[in-house]
């Protein structure tokens, strides 16, 4: 009997579970509180996109005469083929039956509707992709055609990674969502409730925890609560997660509590533990942590416990048990290499540090606890958790979901991974700060890091200073070069429409981005239009940023705020041109096109010098090293050959690595010292030597360490894996 049921409502991701329930379940394990979790999103998708269900959907659409467009008429005409192939295609995307990829890649195997219209462009965009990836892309288009059929003929609110998202996006009033919840169940609702009901038939919990990370989960969360309240009124329902944390901090509408008993904010562990004490353990005089309840007909915020939130080290390892890990669906939707990481493959999700160590960006919700309270986790604990998750899930891929992973902790994590000889693959979000040196990036790569994403935002030093980003364009260029040379993919978040941004600055920012892609030091990017959020520094002091907010009365959600910019510019007009140019740049073309070519209206000529990024890049290797820097040798022990030349005894050292061989020749005495040094600088040492310690050691028997350290031979060894970190 499990008294606690954790639910992720439809929909988040197809390829991997959203980690919130796994985090809470892992914490409950540390308290010996048993629980069960389910991802309704993947369960609903698998039932919806099945031959059995689509047979019914085609019949319903035909009976209700909703097949109107030529595209849907085409899909309906080929319904028998869709039904015959659907289960096989889904199975392939789940990682089974891989031999069918050869059939999928042939021209007449899958039925093709409008999603395949751009296939020629996609073939160009993806280049010579491997057969499995090409088949995944084609299979994804197949499913998206059927998704279009659902939207037009069955349920206009459907979306693969969101459902009825419009109803939850900054809905200052609960009215529209409440009205929708009075309507009859949609087919997606029916499937959701059917699966939920089956779970309740096995065991009726006492407390439901609904995780709502995004607006696209909100409607389904309320539908779940509605059904539970109607059929199991004694069961208590709580809601937490990213959406309540950011949007529901000013909640007033009592109607919300027709569906939900509790809404918790920020870190969920202690609030959930207190709810368990109240609902399951029936303690006297229960207390609450950051929790909304309905009391005497009014919405009341309860924060009356004296207990403090748990430190990150005591939260336990996320627990993915109960979830259908072998049934998630990997898709490749668009030709963006970073987006493929988000949608393709199953990733174990972890966090290196709670909050953001920078915490200053003026567009960000830095006033909220999940960002402003920074607390890193020890690297040894992180790798313990990684090993536990590999053992539990069988997956060695990790996505660290940090706001911005700290460089020092990334270094410690990489060293711990290498020391334990783990073979893992990981990626995370960063700030493009100067601490990401060439050698640190090489260390991260050696530990399994394959990609980083970070915010360049507006490629303008004036606006970066106004944002308080703490970086310059030149610094971003150097850091992205360091990552790229280490063979770590770089994705950049780009922003347009920041307050006071001029049209000239937008075009100049695009020119900076063009140069970054032309040099090949950024491989992926995405443009976002600035959004004013109420919890950001801009939202809290709009006048200082030349912004006039247009506030509504808040009874439900409050995050995004409509506003007017003092410039009077309609920044949205730049959207298509910015995204079109970026699409081309990501695939290595269009660099010689004038920036005007991407826009269908007159734009200013850029005033940025065409080689400003290239000119800003400097060779990082300087003839100076901090005395406290640690020295690390990532290579193997060398083979040796000693010989004499002009009365000097020399030793040739040959170093082999995965891609080649490096040979250096030094005095034999230097060679003997070097071999000993490489041993104490290996990753399996408890403590790596400092540059100062090596200097002292060398000069006990030889002279002028700097002359030796910066010699041609040692510079060659630096390229072969001798790192200064």
Residue 132 has pLDDT above 60, yes or no: yes
Question: What is the distance between the alpha carbons of residues 266 and 240, in angstroms, rounded to a whole number?
Answer: 8
Tens digit of each residue's pLDDT (9 = 90 or more) over 180-239: 999 999 999 999 999 999 999 999 999 999 999 999 999 999 999 999 999 999 999 999
Question: What is the distance between the alpha carbons of residues 438 and 444, in angstroms, rounded to a whole number?
Answer: 10
Tens digit of each residue's pLDDT (9 = 90 or more) over 344-366: 889 999 999 999 999 999 999 99
Mean pLDDT of all residues in 425-452: 97
According to the model, what pLDDT value does residue 167 have?
67
Residue whose token pair is 């364009």: 473
- The band of 161, judged by pLDDT with boundaries at 50, 70 and 90, is confident
Q: Count of CB atoms within 10 A of residue 632's CB?
A: 25
Residue 669 has pLDDT above 60, yes or no: yes
DSSP label at residue 606: P
Question: What is the distance between the alpha carbons of residues 559 and 364, in angstroms, rounded to a whole number?
Answer: 11
SS3 assignment, position 382:
helix
Question: What is the distance between the alpha carbons of residues 272 and 270, in angstroms, rounded to a whole number?
Answer: 5
The residue count of the chain comes to 725
Residue 615: CA count within 13 A, CB half-sphere? 6
From residue 569, alpha-carbon distances to 502, 544, 724 in Å are 8, 18, 48
Write the DSSP assignment of 173-211 as a string of letters. Answer: SSHHHHHHHHSPPPHHHHHHHHHHHHHHHH---SEEEEE
Q: 238 forms bridges with which residues in the sheet?
A: 209, 262
Question: What is the distance between the alpha carbons of residues 528 and 497, in angstroms, rounded to a whole number?
Answer: 9
According to the model, what pLDDT value does residue 123 have?
61
Residue whose token pair is 């004694």: 234
Question: What is the distance between the alpha carbons of residues 427 and 666, in angstroms, rounded to a whole number?
Answer: 39
Residue 514: CA count within 13 A, CB half-sphere? 25
Mean pLDDT of all residues in 294-301: 97
According to the model, what pLDDT value does residue 614 have?
94
Question: What is the distance between the alpha carbons of residues 111 and 104, in angstroms, rounded to a whole number?
Answer: 10
Backbone dihedral region for residue 97 (phi beyond 0: left; psi -120 to 50: alpha; all else: beta): left
Write the DSSP assignment of 338-375 as a string of letters. Answer: HHHHHHSS--EEE-SEES-SS---TTS-TTSHHHHS-E
Q: How would you write 91-124 as a 3-class SS string? A: HHHCCCCHHHHHHHCCCCCCCCCHHHCCHHHHHH
Type and span of the H or E element at 430: strand 425-430
For 4-42+162-314, the fitting CATH number among 3.30.465.10, 1.20.140.10, 3.40.50.2300, 3.40.449.10 is 3.40.50.2300
Closest CA to 471 of 484, 489, 459, 483: 459
According to the model, what pLDDT value does residue 119 have?
73
According to the model, what pLDDT value does residue 107 have?
84
According to the model, what pLDDT value does residue 169 have?
62
Average pLDDT, the chain: 93
> What is the greatest pairwise CA distance in the chain?
98
Q: Please report the sign of the dihedral spanned by the C-alpha atoms of residue 364, residue 368, residue 372, residue 374.
A: negative
According to the model, what pLDDT value does residue 620 have?
53
SS3 assignment, position 261:
coil
* CATH topology assigned to domain 347-616: TIM Barrel (3.20.20)
Of 436 and 586, more confident: 436
- The band of 497, judged by pLDDT with boundaries at 50, 70 and 90, is very high
Residue 127 has pLDDT above 60, yes or no: no
Mean pLDDT of all residues in 548-567: 90
Q: What is the pTM of this model?
A: 0.92
According to the model, what pLDDT value does residue 191 have?
97
Buried b (16+ CB within 10 A) or exposed e, 67-103: beeebbebbeebbeebbebbebbbebbbeeeeebbee
Tens digit of each residue's pLDDT (9 = 90 or more) over 71-126: 999 999 999 999 999 999 999 999 998 999 999 998 899 999 999 987 766 565 55
Question: What is the distance between the alpha carbons of residues 679 and 674, in angstroms, rounded to a whole number?
Answer: 9
Tens digit of each residue's pLDDT (9 = 90 or more) over 499-517: 999 999 999 999 999 999 9
Write the DSSP assignment of 637-698 as a string of letters. Answer: PPEEEEEEETTEEEEEEEEE-SS-EEEEEEEHHHHHHHHHHHHHTSTTSSSPPBHHHHHHHH
Tens digit of each residue's pLDDT (9 = 90 or more) over 447-494: 999 999 999 999 999 999 999 999 999 999 999 999 999 999 999 999
């Amino acid at each position: 009997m499990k008294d606690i049921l954790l639910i992720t409502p439809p929909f988040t991701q197809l390829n991997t579970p959203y980690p919130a329930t796994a985090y809470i379940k892992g914490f409950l394990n540390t308290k010996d509180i048993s629980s069960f979790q389910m991802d309704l999103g993947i369960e609903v998708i698998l039932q919806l996109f099945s031959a059995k269900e689509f047979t019914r959907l085609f019949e319903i659409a035909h009976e209700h005469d909703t097949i109107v467009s030529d595209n849907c008429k085409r899909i309906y005409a080929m319904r028998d083929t869709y039904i015959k192939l659907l289960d096989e295609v889904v199975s392939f995307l789940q990682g089974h039956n891989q031999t069918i990829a050869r059939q999928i890649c042939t021209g007449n195997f899958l039925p093709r509707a409008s999603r395949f219209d751009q296939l020629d462009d996609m073939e160009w965009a993806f280049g010579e992709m491997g057969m499995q990836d090409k088949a995944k892309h084609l299979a994804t288009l197949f499913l998206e055609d059927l998704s279009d059929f659902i939207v037009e003929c069955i349920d206009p609110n459907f979306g693969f990674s969101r459902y009825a998202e419009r109803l939850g996006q900054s809905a200052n009033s609960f009215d529209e969502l409440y009205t929708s919840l009075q309507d009859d169940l949609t087919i997606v609702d029916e499937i959701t409730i059917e699966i939920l009901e089956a779970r309740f038939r096995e065991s009726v919990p006492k407390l439901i925890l609904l995780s709502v990370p995004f607006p696209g989960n909100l409607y389904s969360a309320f539908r779940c609560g509605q059904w539970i309240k109607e059929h199991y009124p004694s069961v208590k329902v709580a809601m937490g997660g990213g959406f309540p944390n950011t949007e529901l901090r000013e909640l007033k509408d009592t109607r919300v509590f027709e569906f939900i008993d509790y809404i918790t904010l920020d870190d969920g562990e202690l609030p959930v533990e207190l709810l368990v004490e109240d609902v399951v353990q029936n303690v006297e005089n229960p207390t609450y942590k950051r929790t909304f309840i309905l009391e005497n007909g009014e919405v009341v915020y309860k924060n009356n416990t004296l207990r403090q939130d748990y430190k990150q080290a005591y939260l336990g390892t996320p627990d993915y048990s109960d979830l259908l890990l072998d049934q998630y669906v990997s898709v490749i939707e668009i030709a963006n290499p970073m987006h493929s990481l988000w949608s393709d493959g199953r990733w174990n999700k972890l966090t290196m540090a709670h909050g953001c160590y920078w915490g200053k960006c003026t567009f960000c919700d830095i006033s909220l606890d999940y960002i402003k309270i920074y607390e890193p986790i020890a690297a040894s604990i992180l790798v313990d958790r990684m090993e536990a998750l590999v053992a539990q899930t069988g997956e060695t891929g990790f996505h660290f979901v940090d706001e911005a992973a700290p460089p020092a902790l990334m270094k410690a994590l990489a060293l711990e991974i290498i020391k334990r000889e783990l073979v893992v693959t990981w990626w995370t979000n960063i700030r493009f700060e100067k601490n990401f040196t060439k050698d640190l990036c090489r260390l991260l790569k050696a530990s399994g890091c394959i990609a980083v994403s970070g915010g360049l935002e507006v490629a303008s030093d004036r606006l970066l200073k106004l944002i308080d980003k703490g970086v310059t364009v030149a610094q971003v260029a150097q850091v992205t070069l360091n990552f790229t040379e280490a063979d770590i993919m770089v994705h950049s978040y780009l922003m347009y429409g920041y307050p006071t941004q001029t049209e000239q600055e937008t075009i100049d920012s695009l020119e900076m981005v063009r140069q970054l892609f032309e040099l090949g030091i950024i491989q992926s990017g995405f443009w976002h239009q600035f959004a004013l959020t109420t919890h950001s520094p801009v939202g809290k002091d709009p006048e200082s940023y030349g912004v006039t907010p247009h506030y509504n009365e808040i009874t439900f959600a409050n995050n995004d705020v409509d506003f007017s910019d003092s410039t009077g510019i309609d920044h949205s007009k730049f959207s298509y041109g910015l995204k079109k140019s970026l699409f081309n740049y990501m695939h290595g073309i269009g660099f010689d096109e004038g920036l005007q070519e991407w826009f269908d209206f007159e734009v200013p000529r850029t005033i940025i010098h065409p080689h400003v990024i290239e000119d800003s890049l400097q060779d990082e290797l300087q003839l100076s090293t901090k005395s406290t820097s640690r020295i690390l040798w990532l290579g193997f022990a060398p083979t040796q050959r000693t010989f004499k030349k002009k009365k000097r005894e020399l030793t040739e050292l040959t170093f082999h690595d995965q891609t080649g061989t490096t040979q250096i020749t030094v005095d034999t005495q230097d060679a003997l010292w070097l071999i000993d040094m490489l041993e104490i600088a290996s990753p399996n040492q408890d403590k790596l030597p400092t540059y100062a310690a090596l200097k002292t050691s060398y000069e006990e028997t030889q002279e002028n360490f700097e002359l030796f350290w910066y010699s041609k031979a040692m510079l060659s060894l630096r390229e072969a894996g001798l790192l200064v970190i």
